[in-house]
């Protein structure tokens, strides 16, 4: 493992820079009056008669930008930074969501604006614009002018960040061997420049063996950081959550450190759910602008071991699909397609006894619950450094188990039901399990419930293939071959010992032995784009039902 610390201030970076021609900046900028009160900062910054920066409703509009600016080829060192000038002036707009930072440089000579610009499909690059600020003849006038610029900058940043905090202190964990490999290069070349441009203080560590992030998170000084950013597949977030969960102050740590994700692996489910993408640069921007979102976590007990799960628990075909294709990581997400076709033809069943603490039994009820939760979702509170500091219970370890462990007596009211032809038992805390694989359409980040899908293993190969294809069309949830429930806890006891079988927890292999799970509402913390998962929800969840029409 190696470590490095990075913090970007006003120094120049290697990002592409567009610099306008020097202009005369000889008088203070106007302030708008609110009618006798304190003057309000203007939305228009006039740097010269021909160059203005305007804060529109949805974007920063720049009029009169010099098109003769040198464009530096970021990756082509052979260009020596020499660009091809294009005469004339033009207009440019930058969405507020893409604005990363703005400031007057230390020498007070330039206004610099950093932003993320889409340069290819699904790909962003950190860029900046620099506008010279010529000093006025009078020092008093110049001071007033700079004050107006600073006020305009604050206005821009408020519009750009909204309720998201700026300059989040990040603990970055890179797994160089994640997925098909290349995570370290993705971090250095694609993601870090965006975080640098957003002026995020960062401490970066690289793992050298599986499970190392558990120890690192357990020993982390949580007061030094606001967010943790694993750069990997879904395995590294799993380790970070469990490391925080092993601390004496687990509840405080889990509620203070927002665990995020830069997708560098095969599945990248966490990024797909929180940011709606498995592209690293798009995920990076979503983290910069992310909103604090409480996240349900699940305690999974097996023997004397307690593990936290943030994503899913699987037994049967889904678990075999995840674990038995580990050697095919070089294929990326295509390993899952190949593995599914191989397993579907086997029509294997996994006899088990299952006890479920069901809260919503039927699909109509699940849809109604989803609709109520989404439509009643309130605005997220602003995430501030130090949030999560508490006393009493919040400083203690993990919450006690309400239903005990898999080795305890079956809880009162639970009933073990035999399932002779079980094909897949899949319990999810998030919707997407991989890009375009929306297994749990009604999953919510913090409703205090797990989404449970069960299918039989003896269905025909063609029906099985059709079932998987139904996820693309959004019909998987409504398929009669799928049992879908909202549950708060369950216990599974495999009836046949099979050394080739395993249980998958967040994609990690666990022994083929009895286990039990229960959910803890809002125990963890993450960042998302809008406080909800990016999955579209069950098909037609927002439509008025026949019952509602009759009642109306």
Phi, psi of 390 (to 5 degrees): -155, -170
The CA-atom distances, in angstroms, between 30 and each of 46, 157, 200 are: 9, 19, 32
Distance from C-alpha of 526 to C-alpha of 531, rounded to nearest angstrom:
9
3-class SS string, 18-71 = EECCCCCCCCCCCCECCCCCCCECCCEEEEECCEEEEECCCEEEEEEEECCCCC
Distance from C-alpha of 34 to C-alpha of 5, rounded to nearest angstrom:
45
Task: Give bridge partners of residue 315 from the DSSP assignment.
Answer: 425, 503
Q: What angle is formed at CA 120 by the lines to CA 118 and CA 123, rounded to 5 degrees?
A: 65
Return the DSSP state at 190.
I
Active-site option among 66, 196, 226, 234: 234
Phi, psi of 240 (to 5 degrees): -65, -45
Q: Which residues, at least 6 apart from 91, have a Cβ–Cβ distance to it below 8 Å?
A: 61, 62, 63, 64, 65
Would residue 66 show up in a list of annotated catalytic residues for this protein? no
Task: Give bridge partners of residue 424 from the DSSP assignment.
Answer: 316, 455
Q: How many H helices and E strands in the chain?
A: 13, 27
> Six-digit token pair at 530?
């809008």
Containing 520, the helix (H) or strand (E) segment is strand 515-528
Distance from C-alpha of 461 to C-alpha of 345, rounded to nearest angstrom:
6
- Other beta carbons within 10 Å of 473: 8
Distance from C-alpha of 115 to C-alpha of 13, rounded to nearest angstrom:
13
Distance from C-alpha of 413 to C-alpha of 252, rounded to nearest angstrom:
33
Task: Indicate which residues carry an active-site annotation.
Answer: 234
């Amino acid at each position: 493992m190696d470590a490095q610390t990075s913090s970007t201030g006003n120094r120049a970076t290697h990002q592409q820079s567009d610099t306008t021609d020097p202009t005369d900046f000889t008088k203070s900028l106007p302030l708008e009056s609110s009618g006798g009160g304190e003057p309000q900062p203007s939305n228009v910054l006039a740097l010269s008669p021909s160059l203005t920066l305007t804060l529109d409703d949805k974007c920063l509009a720049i009029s009169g930008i010099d098109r003769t600016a040198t464009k530096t080829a970021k990756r082509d060192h052979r260009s020596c930074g020499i660009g091809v000038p294009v005469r004339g002036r033009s207009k440019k707009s930058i969405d507020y969501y893409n604005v990363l930072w703005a400031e007057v440089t230390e020498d007070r000579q330039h206004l610099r604006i950093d932003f993320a610009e889409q340069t290819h499909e699904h790909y962003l690059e950190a860029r900046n614009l620099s506008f010279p600020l010529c000093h006025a003849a009078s020092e008093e006038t110049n001071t007033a002018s700079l004050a107006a610029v600073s006020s305009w900058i604050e206005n821009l940043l408020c519009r750009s960040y909204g309720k998201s905090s700026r300059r989040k202190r990040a603990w970055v964990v890179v797994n160089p061997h994640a997925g098909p490999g290349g995570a370290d290069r993705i971090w250095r070349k694609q993601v870090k420049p965006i975080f640098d441009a957003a002026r995020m203080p960062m401490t970066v560590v690289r793992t050298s063996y599986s499970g190392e992030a558990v120890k690192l998170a357990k020993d982390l000084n949580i007061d030094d950081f606001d967010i943790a950013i694993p750069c990997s597949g879904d395995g590294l977030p799993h380790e970070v959550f469990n490391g925080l969960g092993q601390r004496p102050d687990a509840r405080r740590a889990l509620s203070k450190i927002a665990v995020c994700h830069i997708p560098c692996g095969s599945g990248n489910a966490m990024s797909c759910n929180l940011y709606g993408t498995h592209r690293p640069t798009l995920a990076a921007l979503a983290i910069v602008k992310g909103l604090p979102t409480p996240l349900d976590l699940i305690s999974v007990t097996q023997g004397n071991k307690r593990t936290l799960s943030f994503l899913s628990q699987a037994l049967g075909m889904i678990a075999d699909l995840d674990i038995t294709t580990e050697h095919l990581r070089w294929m990326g997400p295509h390993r899952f397609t190949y593995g599914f076709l191989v397993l579907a033809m086997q029509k294997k069943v996994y006899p088990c006894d299952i006890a479920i603490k069901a809260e919503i039994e039927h699909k109509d009820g699940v849809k109604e619950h989803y609709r109520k939760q989404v439509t009643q979702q309130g605005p997220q509170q602003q995430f501030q450094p130090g949030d999560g500091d508490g006393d009493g219970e919040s400083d203690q370890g993990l919450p006690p188990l309400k239903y005990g462990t898999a080795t305890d007596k079956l809880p009162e009211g639970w009933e073990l039901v035999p399932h002779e032809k079980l094909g897949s038992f899949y319990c999810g805390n998030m919707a997407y399990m991989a890009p375009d694989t929306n297994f749990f359409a009604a999953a919510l980040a913090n409703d205090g419930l797990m989404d449970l899908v069960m299918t039989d293993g003896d269905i025909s190969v063609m029906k099985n293939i059709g079932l998987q294809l139904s996820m693309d069309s959004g019909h998987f949830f409504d398929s009669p071959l799928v049992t879908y429930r909202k549950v708060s806890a369950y216990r599974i006891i495999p009836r046949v010992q099979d050394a080739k079988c395993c249980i998958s927890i967040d994609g990690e292999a666990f022994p083929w032995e009895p286990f039990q799970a229960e959910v803890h509402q809002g125990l963890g913390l993450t960042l998302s784009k809008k406080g909800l998962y990016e999955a579209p929800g069950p098909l037609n969840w927002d439509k008025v039902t026949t019952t509602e029409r009759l009642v109306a």
